[in-house]
A and B are shown apart, each in its own frame.
Chain A
Amino acid sequence: QSVLTQPPSVSGTPGLRVTISCSGSSSNIGDFYVNWYQQLPGTAPKLLIYGTNQRPSGVPDRFAGSKSGTSASLAISGLRSEDEADYYCAAWDDSLYGIIFGGGTKLTVL
């Protein structure tokens, strides 16, 4: 069981918007930034969001990260079929003194 809690799955219709939540605590999300990753089948994870809400170059602005208190969210707007993948959040945890990942969320584009 992960310290960061993500829904196992979410789904959405092409063109619309979905959000993926990542729930933590004051020892991780509450005090540290969050990274988000996209993992397509059979490939290495790709950084989507760093520093809670920053996009690396090349990541479209359809992807947006935010945080409120001890929870973070990844919003994907203008959903496309190629967005179908697993998504993970990650943050440092000051109680465990290490980096923790959420359990991952499988996004299905209907």
Chain B
Amino acid sequence: EVHLVESGGALVQPGGSLRLSCVASGFTFGTYWMTWVRQAPGKGLEWVANIKSDGSEKYYVDSVKGRFTISRDNTKNSLYLQMNSLRAEDTAAYHCARAYDYADSGHDWGQGTLVAVSS
């Protein structure tokens, strides 16, 4: 059974940084694309970034380019999202998901970790 567990969410001040992690199990992590999707409180889903199985390709939504970095460590079955220069509008639950290609918004999702940006 596919299992994805996110962690690292916290309350942070505007301009601060945070690193989210997602630990995967139940599948061969290093053979799948992975993606991050966020959902602001009471709002819809927004794709944030995704990364190819070997880390050689990465894509980001325009609003986070230059501030967020997606990465992975296949030896640890882990996906990461380094978030810098955080803004109030980044406040959301962040979900990681397993994907099959660059166009896939995600088949299996974690429960999410909450990031709150506020002074």
Q: Could you list which residues of chain A lie within 8 angstroms of chain B, going by C-beta atoms?
A: 2, 32-33, 35, 37, 39, 43-47, 50, 56, 88, 90-92, 96-104
Contact = CB atoms under 8 A, between A and B. Distances in A.
Interface string B55-72: 000011110000000000
B89 interface: no
Contact of A91 (B45, B103, B111): B103
Interface residues of B, number: 23
Contacts of B60: 98
Contacts of B109: 44-47
B58 to A, nearest CB: 11
Contacts of B78: none
Contact of A101 (B62, B95, B105): B105
Closest 4 CB pairs of A and B: A92-B103, A90-B105, A99-B47, A104-B44
